[in-house]
Structure 1
Amino acid sequence: MSFKSPFPDVEIPNKSVYDFLFGDIADEDLARPALVDGSSGAVTDYKTLIGQINGVAGALAARGVEVGDVVALHSPNVPAFGSVFHGILRAGAIATTINALYNAEDIGKQLTDSKAKMIFTVSPLLPQAKAAADAVGIAAENVIVLDGAEGHQSLKDLLTEGAAAPDVSFDPATHLAVLPYSSGTTGRPKGVMLTHRNLVANVSQIQPRMGADHDDVLLAVLPFFHIYGMTVLLNLGLKVRASLITMPRFDLEQFLSLTTEKKITYLFIAPPVAVALAKHPLVDKYDISSVRCVFSGAAALDENLGNAVAKRLHTKVRQGYGMSELSPVSHSIPFDGDDMPLSSCGVAVANSENKIVDPATGEEVEYPEAGSDQVSAPGELWIKGPNVMVGYLNNDEATKETLDSDGFLHTGDIAIVDGQGCVSIVDRLKELIKYKGYQVPPAELESLLLTHPQIADAAVIGVLDDEGEEVPKAFVVLQQGAELSEDDVMTFVSEKVSPHKKVRRVAFIDVVPKSASGKILRKDLRAAEKAH
C-alpha cells in the first residue's frame, strides 16, 4: 500500500514549456526585471527576454535545426542562458545542458552521446568547448559564443538577424525538452530524458508550496545547467515573474554582497552554502535581513546545520529532495510548513505517490499510523508521478533497472517516513557502510562531524581495515587555524554514536570533492583511497 501526497492534485496544462511560462504573461509584467547580471547590473526585462527567446528560436530554425534535434548549452549562470535555453525549447529542439566545469573530454562525451548538432558556450569556456566540438565534428559555425569570440558568431549576431520563431507542433507529453546528464556520483553519467510535460508538471507541483511570487528577488547561484537550478530557479522564478540575479560561480563575499545590495528575499542553495552561512565569520559583516526563506536541496541538509542557519539569519529554512530523473523535485517542506521537522525533506509533492521498499526482501515497509509520532523502518524510496522521466537515452538496461512496469522510479536512496508523511533520506543504497553486518549511513556521521566547531567540512566512506572489514573513514577539513588530531575526531564521534557507527580512521584534507550541485563525490574519495 503506497502513500500519496497530502496535497490535492494540481492541474497540469498540456502545453509546451514556452507556452506554459510565457503564454499568459500580463502586460504589466513585461517591464519587470526577469534576469539581472550580478556582475554588471545589466537588466533583461520580461519583454526583452521573450523577444530574445523567439529570436534564438528563429536563428536556430534558419540554421536547419528541426524539431527533435539536440542543441548543447555550455555556460555558467548569465542572463543569456535563459534566452538561449528557452530559445532551444521554443524551436522544438532539445537542450542538453553541459556542466561549466567539464573539461574537453567530458564535454565531448556528452556531445557524442546526445548527438548534439550545435553548442552554445561563453568565451572563458571556449577552449574546452571548441576542442570538444572539433573532436566530435561540430563545425566552427555551429559553435556560438554568447559574449563573442573571433571566428564565431555571438548571441547578438543571432538576434540581429531578426529571423521569426518557427511555427512548431509537438505533443508536450512525449516530446523531449531537455537532456541533462545525471551527475555520475555513482557511475557513468547518463542522459535523462525529460519531456515538456515533465518540466511543466514539476513547476505546477511545487509552485503552490514554495511561497515564491512576483515580489521576490532570487539569487541565481545554483547552476542553471543542473536540473535543480533549471527547474526551481529559472523556470519557477520566471513562472511567478520574480527577478533573478545571476552569479556565474559561488563566491561567498559576492554572494553576501549581492544579497545585501539587491535585497534578495529567497535563497535557493545546496548544503555547502549552508555550511558557510552557519559558520563563516564574513556573514556578520553584511545586512542580509531581506532574506525571508532559505531553501536547500541537491543533497541532505542536516537538521542542526539548518537550524543554525535559521537562527543566524533570522529566517525560515526549508529543504527538499529530488533528482534529475524527477525533474527534479519530489518532496519539500512547504514555505508555511513550520510544523514539519527540518530533519526531513518534507512531504511528497502533489500528484505523486511513494513507496518505501525493504531492499533485502522487496516488500514494502509498514507505514506509521497517520498523525502518529511513529517512524517507519528504512527502505528504498520509490516515486511515481508526472515528473518522472521517460528513461535514460540509449540505455534500456539502466532504464529498466530504475523504472518499473508500474511507473515507479527506484531512487537508490534509503528513506524513512513519519506519521505526518514527512520523508527523511537516510543515505544512498550503494553507499551504506556495512560494519560487521550493521548498516552505517555516511551522511549521519558527516552531519555529526559538522557540529564540531573546529570542523569546516567532512565526508565519510567505507574502507577496508587490516582484517578486511569495512570501517567508516572520515575525511575532515579543519576550520582555518584549528588543530585537531585523528584521535580527537574519533573520540568526538564515539561519544555520540552507537559502537558500530564509530569512525575508525581519519584523514585531514584541504577540500571535500563535490559536484556542481553540492553532492559529496564519495567515488572520488574511494578512487584516491585505492590509489594509495
Structure 2
Amino acid sequence: MTRSSYPDVDIPDLSVYDALFSGIAESDLDRVALVDGPSGDETSYRALIAQIDALAGSLAARGLAVGDRVGILCPNVPAFATVFHGVLRAGGTATTINSLYTAEEIENQLTSAGATWLFTVSPLYAHAAEAAEKAGIGADHLVVIDGAEGHPSLRDLLFERAAPPEVSFDPSTHLAVLPYSSGTTGRPKGVMLTHRNLVANIHQCRDVIPLSRDDRALAVLPFFHIYGMSVLLDYALLQRAALVTMPKFDLVEFLRTVSDERCTWVFIAPPIAVALAKHPLVDEYDLSGVEVIFSGAAPLDRELAKAVAGRIGCQVRQGYGMTETSPVTHAIPIEGDIDLSSIGLAIPNTECRLVDPETGADIEFPDAGTSAPGELLIRGPQVMSGYLNDEEATARTIEADGWLHTGDIATVTAEGVYAIVDRLKELIKYKGYQVAPAVLEAVLLSHPDVVDAAVVGVPDDDAQEVPKAFVVRRPDAGADFDETAVMAFVADRVAPHEKVRLVEFIDAIPKSTSGKILRKDLRSRVGRHALT
C-alpha cells in the first residue's frame, strides 16, 4: 500500500452548494462564471447563484423533497449549471443522462434511479417525453428548459422567485448525484456519489490541476459524464475560473471558440487530440492562448500527446479516474518531466495498492525502477458509497475495508508514477464514452440468425478503441446477413456511441470452463473487417 506523495488536504464538511458558493468573495461575484460558446453570452457568479437559489426555491415549492431524484437530459449550455446546482441546492439527487440515449435508454435510467422529475431541452424533447411518460413522470414534472407547450420552462420556475428552502442533510451520506457507469463489467448501474465525494474530489484536484480565477476553461466534454460534471463544472466554479460551454463537438466550432474566447485550459478526450495533431484546419486558428490541454476519459498515447504539445505550443497532461471515484485518482502534474503515457501521481488523500489478480497478494512498492504489474485498487474520500440497489456488484467492487477495484492492471515506479498496462475490466472506452459489452451482446443475441456473440474493444488506425463484435452465425442464415447487416441491426437499437464498428464471424466464442467469455483471446486475433 502507498499513500499519495502529496500532503493531505482538508475537506470541508459541506454540501456541494455551500462548498462552491457559501464563502464567495464580494470581489468574485461579478466575475464571469459561464460563457455560452456559440453566442458569447456571459453569466456572472452573482447571476448564477441567484438562479440556483430561485430554482431550488421553486422546486421545493412544487413539492421536491430532500432525497427526491431528478433526471437531467441536457447538452452543455449555461442553464445546465443552474439546473444541476439548483437540484442539489434543494436537497434533490441529480441523475445525469447521456444526451445521445434512445427513449428506451432514458426510460431505463429514470426508472432505475427512481426519478420523479426530468429536465430537458426542446431538441431532445421527443425522446424525453416518451421516456418520461413510460417512467411515470407527469407533464408538470417534465421541465423543458427552453420551453414547450404543456410543460413548465426554466424561465417559469425562475420567475416564481420562491425563496430557497432550508434543507438539512449529512453531506457524507446524502446522495448528490447518480451517474450511470458499467463499472468493470455488465450493464450500467447507478453510482451513488455523496456530497462529500464530490466536494472531496474537487479539493483533491487543487494541487495537481492548477486552474485559477484568471483562466478560461473550455467545456466541450459533456456535463452528464462525471469528468465534465466534476473536473469541469464544479472544479472550475470552485476555482472561480470562467467556463466556456459547447453543446457538442464540431472541429470548426471548437477551434473558433478556443480562439475567440482565448481559452487557457482545454479539457479533452483522446479523439479530440487526434484532430488537434493531424487536421489541417488547426493551422487556420489562433490557439496561442492555450496553456494546458488536459486529457481524460480514456488513455492518451505518448506520441499523440507530444504531437499535440508541439503543434499547439502548450503543455499536455492527462489524468485517470472512474465514475466510481468521483472521478479523479491520478494526474500528471504540470511541473516536472513525467512520462506522458503514464497516469501520473496519486492525488492527495488517496491510497493505492497493486494486487496480483491471480493470488490476491499485494505487489511490493519498488525501491528502484518499476514494480511488477497488478490490479490497481484505490481508497480515499472520493470513492463511491456503492451501486444503487445492487449490493452484489458493490461487494465485488469495494472491499469491506474500503478498497475499490478499478479493473485496470498498473505498475508503479519508485517515484510513485503509475501507468496502466492492461486491464481486467470488460468496459470499452469509445471516444471517451463507456460502452458495456454485455449490452451489445444482448442486442446481438436478439437477432434470430445469431447463435452466439461477444464484443471487445480493439484499436483503430489512430490507436483509439472501437467496439468489435465476434458473431457465430446460424448455419442456415441468409447470404445477406453479413457484417454490414450486423452493424445496421445494432445501430438501430443503441445510442450512436454504442454502435458496433467492426464485425468478425467465427465458428465459436472462446469461453472458460465456467462459461465466461475469454475476451483476451478475442482481442489477440488480428482479423479486422468492416470498419466504418
TM over 0.5, yes or no? yes
Tell me the distance in 2 between the aligned counterparts of 1:375 and 1:462.
Answer: 35
2:149 maps to 150
2:350 maps to 352
1:100-179 counterparts in 2 under 5 A? 100-179=99-178
* Offset of residue 462 of structure 1: 9.2
- Aligned-partner residue type, residue 428 of structure 1: R
Q: Does structure 1 residue 446 correspond to structure 2 residue 439?
A: no
1:114-513 counterparts in 2 under 5 A? 114-183=113-182, 186-336=185-335, 338-369=336-367, 372=368, 374-431=369-426, 446=459, 449-450=461-462, 459=466, 504-510=526-532
1:62 maps to 61
- Aligned-partner residue type, residue 504 of structure 1: V
* Offset of residue 187 of structure 1: 2.1
- CA 1:171 to 1:502, structure 2 compared with 1: closer, same or farther past 3 Å? closer
- CA 1:306 to 1:45, structure 2 compared with 1: closer, same or farther past 3 Å? same
1:17-56 counterparts in 2 under 5 A? 17-56=16-55
- Aligned-partner residue type, residue 13 of structure 1: P
- Aligned-partner residue type, residue 348 of structure 1: A
* Offset of residue 366 of structure 1: 2.5
- Aligned-partner residue type, residue 359 of structure 1: P
* Offset of residue 503 of structure 1: 6.1
Tell me the distance in 1 between the aligned counterparts of 2:388 and 2:47.
Answer: 34
* TM-score between both structures, scaled by the size of structure 2: 0.83
Contiguous gaps of at least 5 residues in structure 2: 429-455, 473-521
- CA 1:460 to 1:124, structure 2 compared with 1: closer, same or farther past 3 Å? closer
* Offset of residue 461 of structure 1: 6.0
Query: Does the Cα contact within 8 Å between 2:72 and 2:118 map onto a contact in 1?
Result: yes
- Share of identical aligned residues, percent? 57
Tell me the distance in 2 between the aligned counterparts of 1:315 and 1:215.
Answer: 17
Tell me the distance in 2 between the aligned counterparts of 1:462 and 1:305.
Answer: 27
* Offset of residue 431 of structure 1: 4.5
Tell me the distance in 1 between the aligned counterparts of 2:427 and 2:134.
Answer: 39
3-state SS, counterpart of residue 191 of structure 1: strand
Query: Does the Cα contact within 8 Å between 2:184 and 2:426 map onto a contact in 1?
Result: no
Superposed CA deviations along residues 407-438 of structure 1, whole A, max 9, x for unmatched, are 000011111111111111123314599xxxxx
Tell me the distance in 2 between the aligned counterparts of 1:115 and 1:378.
Answer: 40
3-state SS, counterpart of residue 213 of structure 2: coil
3-state SS, counterpart of residue 393 of structure 2: helix
Superposed CA deviations along residues 126-175 of structure 1, whole A, max 9, x for unmatched, are 10000001111110010001111111111000000010100001111111
1:9 maps to 8
1:480 maps to none
Superposed CA deviations along residues 204-262 of structure 1, whole A, max 9, x for unmatched, are 10012211101100111010010000010000000011111111111111000000000
* Offset of residue 507 of structure 1: 2.3
Tell me the distance in 1 between the aligned counterparts of 2:131 and 2:427.
Answer: 36
3-state SS, counterpart of residue 505 of structure 1: coil
Tell me the distance in 1 between the aligned counterparts of 2:372 and 2:278.
Answer: 33
3-state SS, counterpart of residue 400 of structure 1: helix
Tell me the distance in 2 between the aligned counterparts of 1:17 and 1:432.
Answer: 29
Query: Does the Cα contact within 8 Å between 2:99 and 2:124 map onto a contact in 1?
Result: yes
Tell me the distance in 2 between the aligned counterparts of 1:314 and 1:508.
Answer: 37
- Aligned-partner residue type, residue 390 of structure 2: N
* Offset of residue 459 of structure 1: 4.0
* Offset of residue 458 of structure 1: 5.8
Query: Does the Cα contact within 8 Å between 2:55 and 2:86 map onto a contact in 1?
Result: yes
1:470 maps to none
Tell me the distance in 2 between the aligned counterparts of 1:187 and 1:285.
Answer: 44
Tell me the distance in 2 between the aligned counterparts of 1:461 and 1:98.
Answer: 25
- Aligned-partner residue type, residue 346 of structure 1: G
* Offset of residue 284 of structure 1: 1.0
* Offset of residue 31 of structure 1: 0.9
- Aligned-partner residue type, residue 78 of structure 1: V
Tell me the distance in 1 between the aligned counterparts of 2:89 and 2:147.
Answer: 23
- Aligned-partner residue type, residue 115 of structure 1: G
Q: Does structure 1 residue 99 correspond to structure 2 residue 112?
A: no
Give the length in aligned residue pairs. 457
2:477 maps to none
- CA 1:346 to 1:72, structure 2 compared with 1: closer, same or farther past 3 Å? same
- CA 1:183 to 1:99, structure 2 compared with 1: closer, same or farther past 3 Å? farther
* Offset of residue 508 of structure 1: 4.6
- Aligned-partner residue type, residue 186 of structure 2: G
- CA 1:58 to 1:283, structure 2 compared with 1: closer, same or farther past 3 Å? same
